[in-house]
Amino acid sequence: MIPPDVQYLNLALFIQQLESAFFERGLSRYSQADFVKAGFPDWVRGRYMQIAEHEKTRLDFLQSAVTSSGRDHVAPSDYQFSDNDVHAFIDLSEAITTIVAGSYVGGLHYFSNREYVTVGASILSVESRQASWINSAVRKQHPWNTAFETPLSPNQVLTLLTSFFDFDKMPAQNRALLPANLRPYPRLWLAPRLVPGQEAEISFQNPNVQKNERLYAAFLFGFETIFAPITEREDTTIQGADAGHDNRKYFVQIPKDLDVKGTVFVVVLKGTGNISEVRLDDQSTVAGPAIAMFSFGANHAPILW
């Protein structure tokens, strides 16, 4: 039986392997000339090289910590990153560093070893600084979100990161080394632009909802969560052989309170007809999370693109 502390160390390593692979691949694909041609100052790629060095150092450290415990460490997966130019690489780097920061905020309480907690807190601090630098100095958006970083559960983190690898095809030995019951939720897709106070379409696989249940969207930022009911409609544009099949579309009113909140994580839940009884847990999760951005400037006004 692998001690829980070592399982969560392996989870941290599992996440770090992906993050390190992302930066290593990106810098091998995009040269200094590519960054300058994309419109970025000549110092930006140099900072990314420093971030990549940090990622490699943390990777080696976590792997050593696992092996020092006398246990095997997880093996890297086969990653598929979607960026095909410098701008996409930078956008993806911000998302990944933000997810990793949230993984430590939501995951440190699983450790009983205080030394592991201290190490995790140290990694969290640098991850947050890197995410802040990318989003503000490079992307010219908000350097932080609210007064608190959003905690993400292991399954929420895994769901976000399986955009880049197939969980079912990862090295077989990894399953026995990672925490029990670790699994991704179904994917959630959001409309390209979300505007507080307006309705937006969201997409996810057909949910298994009972007659007495309905669907809700949960918007997570810092330590706050806003719930909103999801509206289901039929897609009347489907004709011919596909007519009569499941052709539901889902919509949600984006809460006005999300204005200038920065990065928000959206999760689809199922619950009773009483919104006050909705719970954010494994049993209630239908899909997600997905990332939504409500950027703001130094004057605290929304940044509109």
Structural domain count of the chain: 2
Instruction: Give the separation between CA 293 and CA 181, rounded to whole angstroms.
Output: 30
Helix, strand, coil percent values for the chain (each to nearest 5): 45, 20, 40
* Per-residue model confidence (pLDDT) at position 94: 97
pLDDT in tens, 68-101: 999 999 999 999 999 999 999 999 999 999 999 9
Instruction: Give the separation between CA 138 and CA 155, rounded to whole angstroms.
Output: 30
Is residue 239 predicted with pLDDT exceeding 60?
no
182 lies in a domain? no
* Per-residue model confidence (pLDDT) at position 19: 98
* Per-residue model confidence (pLDDT) at position 2: 87
- Backbone φ, ψ for residue 252 (5° rounding): -140, 145
No. of helices (H) and no. of strands (E), the chain = 7, 7
Domain extent, residue 33, equals 4-177
Q: Is 200 helix (H, G, I), strand (E, B) or coil?
A: strand
In terms of domains, do 173 and 195 share one?
A: no
Instruction: Give the separation between CA 271 and CA 55, rounded to whole angstroms.
Output: 40
DSSP 235: -
Choose among 69, 127, 114, 106: nearest CA to 222.
106
* Per-residue model confidence (pLDDT) at position 212: 83
Residue that terminates a domain, selected from 133, 158, 177:
177
Residue that terminates a domain, selected from 152, 177, 202:
177
Q: Strand pairing partners for 224?
A: 221
Instruction: Return left, alpha or beta for 203; rule: phi > 0 is left, psi -120 to 50 is alpha, else beta.
Output: beta
**pTM check: above 0.85:** yes
Residue 112: CATH number of its domain: 1.20.1260
In terms of domains, do 162 and 258 share one?
A: no
pLDDT in tens, 162-206: 999 999 999 989 999 999 999 999 999 999 999 999 999 999 998
- What's the sign of the alpha-carbon dihedral 56, 31, 166, 225? positive
* Per-residue model confidence (pLDDT) at position 163: 93
pLDDT in tens, 95-136: 999 999 999 999 999 999 999 999 999 999 999 999 999 999
DSSP 181: T
Instruction: Give the separation between CA 197 and CA 87, rounded to whole angstroms.
Output: 29
pLDDT in tens, 174-183: 999 999 999 9
262 lies in a domain? yes
